[in-house]
Structure 1
């Protein structure tokens, strides 16, 4: 592991994943990796529920990791990989909350009440045909929704406070020479200088995470259901 992303999801982590892979620090582990390979859901559930913390097995073959659930364990990863550099992605707290509440947290808050019949049917089909992926909601709660936010993801003030406290803690605990505080708008230059690599002759990646999130989950569920036939 050469680079550890300590930033919360929806802080430009998808773009950072693409950037790190372009710079030679890939493959880069991201939440999309878990969704693409459902057996990893159970691995993270074991981590979240305290049964396993075998980081070398979990990240075997990866040169970097960003986004949740990995970023929820930035302290443990920074200690386990002492030579890895840490990139803390940040963005305006209010805009970040609007983004995360409309994507990742939306599914969590929706599950607090009765689901529409269509959603219940989909969940039943996924549970039958893709049992590992059916544990995805439980995994997100166990790894970051509950331990990081106390389950209070519908409380805007609380979530923003946690976001700001997280940034302060990473800055305080990771030595300055090992840490880059980074926004996607900063582009290649600070990231490349920090990692000691040349600046590519192309624009910094700009992934629209919110749109990708909305497209990704329905398509992934459909493939899992069809694959089980």
Structure 2
């Protein structure tokens, strides 16, 4: 099963919104970091192989038609080459707003500390934190990196293959890019900062135990999917 949409946007650029939006448009299932946690005992070793230069993309994305979020967004270039017919979706937001969000959630010491010394922690270091070194808390460095990284995506792909997209724009540009009808429901808005913090509060971060981490991932997807179109 070849990917049809590759999400190049970094985590905390409405990637959970995009997951549910793409699935609603018939381009799912959509791969997201939560899917790694939900199937961690199979997925994490595959991602560690990818980090080590031995990716099996078809096995990683077996059963999926699209991607968004980490860790796949870190490999947008490789995936765009491996799936040449796939369109690329770059979700964006204000760099300072992004830094505030990641610093309080997925990059926070509590969340990452809960994974220290685990295979998931090793995957996060290789697929997420590698570009930052010890500067993950340096706002000026991180916001500059965010902007330069997104510009690299833009400069590397033909315009007809890429959509630079802020979900605040609604369904219309996304549906026009993908060649699908605009749904009657409003675009879902999920995974706010508070929702992620509330979920991780219940487990003191992401559980280190593989079985508990899988349950965390499955439950989080289920809970947010129930909210995704609740206002529609």
TM-score (normalised: structure 2): 0.82
Partner of 1:131: none
Task: Indicate which of 165, 183, 203 corresponds to 1:200.
Answer: 183
The answer for unaligned runs of 5 or more in structure 1 is 112-118, 128-133
Matched-pair contact (CA < 8 Å) for 1:108–1:137: no
Task: Indicate which of 90, 93, 98 corresponds to 1:91.
Answer: 93
C-alpha separation in 2, matches of 1:103 and 1:38? 20
Partner of 2:30: 28
Is 2:124 the counterpart of 1:136? no
Q: Which contiguous aligned blocks of 4+ residues in structure 1 show a shift greater than 6 angstroms?
A: none
In structure 2, relative to structure 1, the CA distance for the partners of 1:49 and 1:209 (3 Å cut) is: farther
Matched-pair contact (CA < 8 Å) for 2:105–2:111: no
C-alpha separation in 1, matches of 2:56 and 2:27? 21
The structure where helix makes up a greater share of residues is: 1
- Counting matched residue pairs gives 206
C-alpha separation in 1, matches of 2:112 and 2:171? 38
Partner of 1:175: 158
SS at match of 1:105: coil
C-alpha separation in 2, matches of 1:37 and 1:215? 22
Matched-pair contact (CA < 8 Å) for 1:5–1:67: yes
C-alpha separation in 2, matches of 1:42 and 1:213? 25
C-alpha separation in 2, matches of 1:186 and 1:84? 22
The alpha carbon displacement at 1:108 in A equals 7.5
In structure 2, relative to structure 1, the CA distance for the partners of 1:65 and 1:109 (3 Å cut) is: closer
The alpha carbon displacement at 1:213 in A equals 2.4
Partner of 2:170: 187
Which piece of structure 1 moves more, 39-48 or 75-84?
A: 39-48
In structure 2, relative to structure 1, the CA distance for the partners of 1:151 and 1:33 (3 Å cut) is: farther
C-alpha separation in 2, matches of 1:171 and 1:150? 24
C-alpha separation in 1, matches of 2:111 and 2:194? 19
C-alpha separation in 1, matches of 2:185 and 2:50? 38
The alpha carbon displacement at 1:159 in A equals 0.9
Task: Indicate which of 124, 130, 136 corresponds to 1:153.
Answer: 136
TM-score (normalised: structure 1): 0.83
- Aligned-pair Cα RMSD in Å: 2.3
Partner of 1:224: 212
Task: Indicate which of 42, 45, 50 corresponds to 1:42.
Answer: 45
The answer for unaligned runs of 5 or more in structure 2 is 216-232
